[in-house]
A and B are shown apart, each in its own frame.
Chain A
Amino acid sequence: MQNTMKSLAQLTSLLARIALWIAGIGLILMTVFIAAQVFWRYILNSSLIWSEPASVMIMGWFIFLGAAVGIREGYHLSFDIVLYLLPERGKKVLHSISDAVVAAFGLGMIYYGGELAKKTMHNAIPSLGISGAWDFIPIIAGGVLVVIFCVERILRRAAGLSTARFGETELED
């Protein structure tokens, strides 16, 4: 069980790495776009009208991907002070309940994000001209990762492996 989990973890670790890279590239792109807007506005004295909506969309990518990776790496803020009073076993049960409801929320991100994308698919986004569905692709992609990483946490715990938590453990793969 532990060994299967460990090879599975290599896969999810790769997935998290890719998501983090996409998010990082997104942050750089945002920086470039807004810097270009500043350059156009102040040096060339005209306006770049796509830079703002494009950056806002990229921000969606890096927030939802980054937030999903945060579940795996445990860097979300939480109040776990009450849990310190509980025995190890009880703690594990509660953590797994928590991961399960977060996974349910991730399913919601996928399903309802998809519904929103379908609804707006045929509307163009102002100033960008691309399909309105792009506004919701990040939340869907983030949802997929949220579900995967939550399930991984539950399985790891069942297999007796560690899961990362904010200010507590770093994850060893």
Chain B
Amino acid sequence: AEKMLRSSDTHPDGYPTVEAVKYMGKLLDERTKGRLGIEVFHSAQLGEEKDTIEQTQFGVIDLNRVSLGPFNNIVPETQIPSLPYIFRSVEHMHHVMDGPIGDEILAAFSDHDLIGLAFYDGGSRSFYNSQHPIKSMDDLKGMKFRVMQSDMFVDMVSALGANATPMPYGEVYSSIQTGVIDGAENNWPSYDSSGHYEVAKYYTLDQHLIVPEVLVMSKKTWDGLSEEDQKIVRQAAKDSVPYMRDLWEKQEKASEAKIEAAGVKVITDIDKQPFIDAMKPVYDKYVTSDKLKDMVKRIQETK
């Protein structure tokens, strides 16, 4: 295409989000008759998420696929889909984020030099550990879990009675292996690709977080597009979502099958209600304004 938009992603080439943005680039190329295209810089080539968000705000990067976590301190609305156990299932999350609530959150980015374009799937995160199967909250007591350096993750793990240990992702494998921590939490594909299943054999499918990821555009780039092109960009982003979800589902299934074949014990017979009840202090801390409280209520009411 004539003008190649630069898009950043921390995931490696071939990952569903990377492929979805490439697909969006293909759509753009077709629909603008070669005026616009997308070049994806995958594998965090341009920096980690926090840094690439700033780069997008300054207009160095045109597009950015990021998780909601780094936005929690910038765009308050993004905290809501990041709350533990807010979504009952992946379908529930899709219904909410594809509807008016999702649009509301996307619109909130525009106060921060960004244009929210679409939500992608980030999978559902569950706990895994090297010690024993976790079926109830008692089993979690006193265990050490690695979390991201995020207040909400720390509070969530503490509320469950376990110990949150913030630690860089790359150190987790050795730390589980050597017993510095007991486990961590993540989705199927990351549990697989990080190799953590080699050292932490118990995966408890509690799905505490089903957090979508977001595709944003720099407001600088957006303002430089004609109104017609803006429409095309928005539509192409929306059209890349089903493509992404399809790839994601395939990848999730493949990882699940591989991990189960490797002898990992998957625990599914858990009563989630006590876990959900334990989250009250977390909700009290993060859902403070009436606007956010109302959003939580509307999400819970969404079928």
Contact = CB atoms under 8 A, between A and B. Distances in A.
Classify A-B as touching or not with yes or no (CB < 8 A). yes
Interface of A: 41, 45-47, 49, 52-53, 116, 119-120, 123-127, 132
Contacts of A52: 149, 166
A116 B60 CA distance: 14
B163 A46 contact: yes
B149 A127 contact: yes
A107 B73 CA distance: 29
B240 interface: no
Nearest to B113: A119
Interface string B159-181: 00001111000000000000000
B246 interface: no
B151 interface: yes
Question: Which of A41, A49, A132 lies at the interface centre, i.e. has the most chain B CB atoms within 10 A of its CB?
Answer: A49
Contacts of A125: 73
Q: At the interface, is chain B mostly helix, strand, loop or mixed?
A: mixed
Contacts of A123: 73-74
Contact of B54 (A53, A116, A126): A116
Interface string B50-61: 000010011000
Given A47-B154, A126-B151, A127-B166, 9 more contacts: A47-B144, A47-B163, A47-B165, A116-B54, A119-B58, A120-B54, A123-B74, A127-B149, A132-B73
A36 B151 CA distance: 20
Given A120-B54, A123-B74, A126-B73, A45 B166 contact: no
Contacts of B58: 119
A68 B151 CA distance: 34
Contacts of A127: 149, 151, 154, 166
A119 B154 CA distance: 26
B268 interface: no
B300 interface: no
A116 B55 CA distance: 10
A21 to B, nearest CB: 30
Contacts of A119: 54, 57-58
A86 B199 CA distance: 61
Interface in B95-113: none
B9 to A, nearest CB: 22
Given A119-B57, A127-B166, A49 B73 contact: no
B89 interface: no
A46 to B, nearest CB: 6
27 contacts: A41-B165, A45-B142, A45-B163, A46-B163, A47-B144, A47-B164, A47-B165, A47-B166, A49-B149, A49-B164, A49-B166, A52-B166, A53-B149, A116-B54, A119-B54, A119-B57, A123-B73, A124-B73, A125-B73, A126-B73, A126-B150, A126-B151, A127-B149, A127-B151, A127-B154, A127-B166, A132-B73
